[in-house]
């Protein structure tokens, strides 16, 4: 089997997303995706990867992954090159599963569990939908929306108690919120006033008053804070017993992350901005993290994700794949989560899953009473709807033999 063509798909309605289709001479094609910098990712796929991938064997995933992730200059963070490689990697696994007529989880080593517990990231339907990299700036896409289904960002800011009850009613056992981001402000994360700290703690107070400890609170800090302020926030959070603090400071200095971890009993989760097993090796060696959160479409795809999970297991560290992307990311993450023996929980965004994911994809992972089930059928199982490629806002680019 040979790779005969690679096509990227960008949709004006979802400017953060880049989808890629890898075609073969056997008539089997596979889909992958990634998020952020979609134009740059597409360019790298065609200009940097396609010249080598075309004509090669799509079943040689480990070898092709090595080529894509570790070129001459090398990469260790989630830049466009890594995101491009991740998207293509998902497509290669999709092809392999279809060629062998088995689901991806079987290729990874089979199921370690039948289902995986899910927690909800409380984004709104329009969160990071307009190309914004900054989670704070992207709030303008999500907060003002009223009356839509699952406007959970607005809810956690103003009705966190009602939100917690709604999530429990759907079976969710955890919710991720980020009320501190709005106060990064003029000090660039170096300082948070006592008044702002008190305001940011209000959602935690409402949640615990409404539902007690029935739901886990996952705290997202988006790497926005400097070390002293992050420690202040962690100390203030301890009475509310959150399950973890995610990316409290920049992951560029893992010694500083380890120092943060020494100042709190709350688990430190990281890091969606780390890429490849080499970055996670350093985090684990420095005892900087309590839990590894890698995003398959930002860290090297399923190939690298499997290796990161296995590496974390040697340190007795659980994993919880990050998932704030599209429907193919969702499917790949659930395949990984039901396979990896050290998976703790799987992230999902119900506003996306019950919203735009349904618009562009079919055969999504089944969500039932707080749990996710990997799609059955060959490959990823989840696939883009055929009509998506013909949408009027579609921009397609193709490289072929």
Q: Give the tokens for residue 81.
A: 């090159």
pLDDT digits (tens, 9 = 90+) for 224-240: 999 999 999 999 999 99
**Quick one: pLDDT at residue 76?**
63
Burial label, 354 (beta-carbon count in 10 A; 0-12, 13-18, 19+): middle
Pairing of strands 361-362, 346-348: unpaired
Q: Does 221 lie in the same domain as 309?
A: yes
Could you tell me which of 370, 349, 352, 373 has the C-alpha nearest to residue 361? 352
Does the structure show a pLDDT above 50 at 71?
A: yes
Q: Does 353 lie in the same domain as 391?
A: no
Q: Does 322 lie in the same domain as 284?
A: yes
Determine the Cα–Cα distance for residues 117 and 172; give it in Å rounded to an integer: 8
**Quick one: pLDDT at residue 298?**
95
**Quick one: pLDDT at residue 141?**
47
pLDDT digits (tens, 9 = 90+) for 80-118: 999 999 999 999 999 999 999 999 999 999 999 999 999
Q: Does 124 lie in the same domain as 31?
A: no
Start-to-end C-alpha separation, the chain: 14
pLDDT digits (tens, 9 = 90+) for 124-170: 887 766 655 555 554 544 444 444 579 999 999 999 999 999 999 99
Torsion angles phi and psi, residue 222, rounded to 5: 55, 30
Q: Does 232 lie in the same domain as 202?
A: yes
**Mean pLDDT, rounded, for 273-292:** 96
Angle subtended at Cα 124 by Cα 122 and Cα 125, rounded to the nearest 5 degrees: 135
Confidence of residue 192 (pLDDT cuts 50, 70, 90): very high
Q: Where are the beta strands (DSSP E) in 44-122?
A: 116-121
Q: Does 84 lie in the same domain as 56?
A: yes
**Mean pLDDT, rounded, for 336-349:** 98
Determine the Cα–Cα distance for residues 294 and 333; give it in Å rounded to an integer: 10
Instruction: Give me the percent of the chain exceeding a pLDDT of 90.
Output: 90
**Mean pLDDT, rounded, for 311-336:** 97
Q: Does 282 lie in the same domain as 255?
A: yes
Q: Does 146 lie in the same domain as 88?
A: no
**Quick one: pLDDT at residue 185?**
86
Check which CATH number belongs to the domain holding 388 and give it: 3.30.390.10
**Quick one: pLDDT at residue 399?**
98
pLDDT digits (tens, 9 = 90+) for 173-185: 999 999 999 999 8
Q: Does 144 lie in the same domain as 97?
A: no
Angle subtended at Cα 371 by Cα 370 and Cα 375, rounded to the nearest 5 degrees: 140
Q: What is the mean pLDDT of the chain?
A: 93
- SS3 of 133-194: the string is CCCCCCHHHHCCCCCCCCCHHHHHHHCHHHHHHHHHHCCCCEEEECCCHHHCHHHCCCCCCH
State if pTM tops 0.85: yes
Comparing 9-13, 25-29, 129-133, 350-354, the range with the smallest average pLDDT is: 129-133
Residues 6+ positions from 231 with CB-CB distance below 8 Å = 260, 263, 264
Determine the Cα–Cα distance for residues 248 and 397; give it in Å rounded to an integer: 38
Q: Does 217 lie in the same domain as 128?
A: yes
pLDDT digits (tens, 9 = 90+) for 360-384: 999 999 999 999 999 999 999 999 9
Q: Does 155 lie in the same domain as 78?
A: no
pLDDT digits (tens, 9 = 90+) for 248-269: 999 999 999 999 999 999 999 9
When divided into structural domains, the chain yields a total of 2
Check which CATH number belongs to the domain holding 164 and give it: 3.20.20.120
**Mean pLDDT, rounded, for 303-313:** 98
Do residues 312 and 319 make contact, with C-beta atoms less than 8 angstroms apart? yes
Do residues 393 and 362 make contact, with C-beta atoms less than 8 angstroms apart? no
**Quick one: pLDDT at residue 15?**
93
Domain that holds residue 15: 3-101+384-400
**Quick one: pLDDT at residue 143?**
45
Q: Does 132 lie in the same domain as 74?
A: no
Could you tell me which of 160, 274, 253, 175 has the C-alpha nearest to residue 219? 175
């Amino acid at each position: 089997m040979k790779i005969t063509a690679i096509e990227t798909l960008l949709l004006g309605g979802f400017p953060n997303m880049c989808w890629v289709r890898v075609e073969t001479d056997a008539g089997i094609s596979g889909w992958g995706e990634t998020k952020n910098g979609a134009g740059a990712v597409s360019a790298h796929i065609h200009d940097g990867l396609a010249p080598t991938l075309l004509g090669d064997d799509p079943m040689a995933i480990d070898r092709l992954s090595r080529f894509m992730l570790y070129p001459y200059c090398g990469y260790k963070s989630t830049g466009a090159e890594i995101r491009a490689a991740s998207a293509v990697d998902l497509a290669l696994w999709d092809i392999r599963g279809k060629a062998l007529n088995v689901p991806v989880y079987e290729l990874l080593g089979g199921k370690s569990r039948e289902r995986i517990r899910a927690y909800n990231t409380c984004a709104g339907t329009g969160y990071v939908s307009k190309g914004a990299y900054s989670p704070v700036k992207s709030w303008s896409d999500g907060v003002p929306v009223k009356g839509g289904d699952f406007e959970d960002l607005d809810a956690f800011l103003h009705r966190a108690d009602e939100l917690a009850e709604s999530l429990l009613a759907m079976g969710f056992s955890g919710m991720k919120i980020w009320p501190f981001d709005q106060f990064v402000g003029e000090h660039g994360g170096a300082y948070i006033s006592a008044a702002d700290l008190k305001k940011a703690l209000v959602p935690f107070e409402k949640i615990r008053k409404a539902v007690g400890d029935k739901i886990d609170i996952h705290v997202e800090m988006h790497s926005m804070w400097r070390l002293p302020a992050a420690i202040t926030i962690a100390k203030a959070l301890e009475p509310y017993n959150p399950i973890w603090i995610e990316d409290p400071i920049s992951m560029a200095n893992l010694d500083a992350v380890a120092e943060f971890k020494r100042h709190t009993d709350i688990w430190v989760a990281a890091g969606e901005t780390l890429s490849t097993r080499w970055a996670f090796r350093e985090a684990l060696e420095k005892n900087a993290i309590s839990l590894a959160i890698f995003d398959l479409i930002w860290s090297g795809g399923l190939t690298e994700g499997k290796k990161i999970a296995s590496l974390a297991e040697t340190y007795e560290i659980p994993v919880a794949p990050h998932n704030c992307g599209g429907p193919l990311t969702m499917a790949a993450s659930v395949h990984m989560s039901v396979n990896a023996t050290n998976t703790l929980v799987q992230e999902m965004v119900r506003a996306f899953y019950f919203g735009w994911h349904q618009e562009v994809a079919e055969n999504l992972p089944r969500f039932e009473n707080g749990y996710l089930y990997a799609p059955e059928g060959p490959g990823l199982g989840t696939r883009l709807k055929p009509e998506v490629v013909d949408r009027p806002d579609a921009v397609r680019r193709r490289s072929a033999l």
